[in-house]
């Protein structure tokens, strides 16, 4: 447990020391909320779909968590190149503890990022349907953060350098975001897009946040949490196995 705590604390300190990283990671979510929220808001409302800011905000919060969590997981590549990972792996502790500590640390950072984006969304004009549901939404936030930090760790465990990182960005992270229903409703879409969205784990994260923050849901909150929990358990197991096979 001490190892897990030390690694968790190390991740948090690294995050808090990087002021530029904190500010920079808020730029894109804020841009999406302002540009899309106010740009497409009138069209969305004329279509009879309601307030677009209220629809958009949960998706943008999920986007911020996705990006931060994945990047936290892929920090293994950075640590490997500069020798920090080797120092950690040669310590007399199990790699499982190292994996758990890093994952919880990265998930905590992503959760903090989600909380900051939530506050920004309130300034833009987002209003949760029920203040009491905000607390329950952070369970969904943390679940999303754990899932994608573990995903980032699993992917980074198979990479030796940053050359493959651009592929991850272009062929995994961005498609997951755009096909999660974060920017548009899943109703009345072409069947092939709906099928892709259904196998996208972020879809259930976005839907879970909408269920808790706005009271509307496509799949139902119980379904969202169940599927997220199952996928998270699988990814954690796969990530732990791949991390245990790292050679430095």
Counted domains in the chain: 1
Which residue from 216, 219, 236, 237 is spatially nearest to 227, judged by alpha carbons?
219
Report DSSP state, residue 163: G
Separation CA 8–CA 48 (nearest Å): 46
Q: Which domain holds residue 234?
A: 2-244
Q: What are the pLDDT digits (tens) for 195-210?
A: 999 999 999 999 999 9
Average pLDDT score, the chain? 83
What token pair was written down for 46? 């004329």
Instruction: Lowest mean pLDDT of 94-98, 177-181, 183-187, name the range.
Output: 94-98
Percent of the chain's residues with pLDDT above 90: 30
Residue 246 falls in which region: left (phi positive, over 0), alpha (psi -120 to 50) or beta: beta
Q: Is the pLDDT of residue 95 over 80?
A: no
pTM for the full predicted model: 0.89
Which residue from 151, 162, 159, 169 is spatially nearest to 239, judged by alpha carbons?
151
Q: What are the pLDDT digits (tens) for 11-52?
A: 777 766 665 666 667 778 888 888 888 887 788 777 766 788
Q: Are 151 and 232 in contact (CB under 8 A)?
A: no
């Amino acid at each position: 447990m001490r190892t897990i705590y030390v690694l968790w604390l190390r991740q948090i300190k690294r995050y808090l020391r990087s002021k530029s990283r904190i500010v920079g990671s808020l730029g894109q979510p804020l841009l999406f909320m302002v540009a899309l929220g106010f740009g497409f808001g009138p069209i969305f409302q004329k279509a009879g779909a309601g307030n677009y800011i209220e629809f958009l905000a949960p998706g943008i919060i999920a986007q911020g968590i996705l990006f931060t969590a994945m990047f936290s997981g892929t920090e293994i590549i950075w640590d490997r190149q500069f020798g920090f990972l080797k120092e950690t792996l040669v310590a007399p502790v199990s790699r499982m503890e190292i994996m758990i500590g890093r994952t919880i640390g990265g998930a905590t950072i992503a959760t903090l990022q989600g909380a900051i984006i939530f506050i920004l969304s309130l300034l833009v004009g987002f209003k949760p349907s029920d203040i009491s549901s905000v607390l329950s939404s952070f369970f969904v936030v943390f679940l999303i953060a754990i899932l994608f930090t573990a995903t980032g760790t699993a992917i980074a465990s198979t990479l030796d350098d940053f050359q493959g990182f651009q592929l991850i960005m272009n062929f995994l992270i961005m498609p997951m975001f755009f096909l999660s229903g974060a920017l548009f409703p899943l109703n009345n879409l072409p069947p092939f897009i709906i099928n892709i969205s259904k196998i996208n784990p972020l879809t259930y994260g976005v839907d879970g946040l909408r269920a808790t923050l706005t009271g509307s849901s496509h799949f139902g909150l119980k379904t969202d949490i169940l599927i997220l929990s199952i996928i998270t358990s699988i990814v954690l197991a796969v990530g732990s196995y791949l991390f245990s096979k790292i050679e430095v």
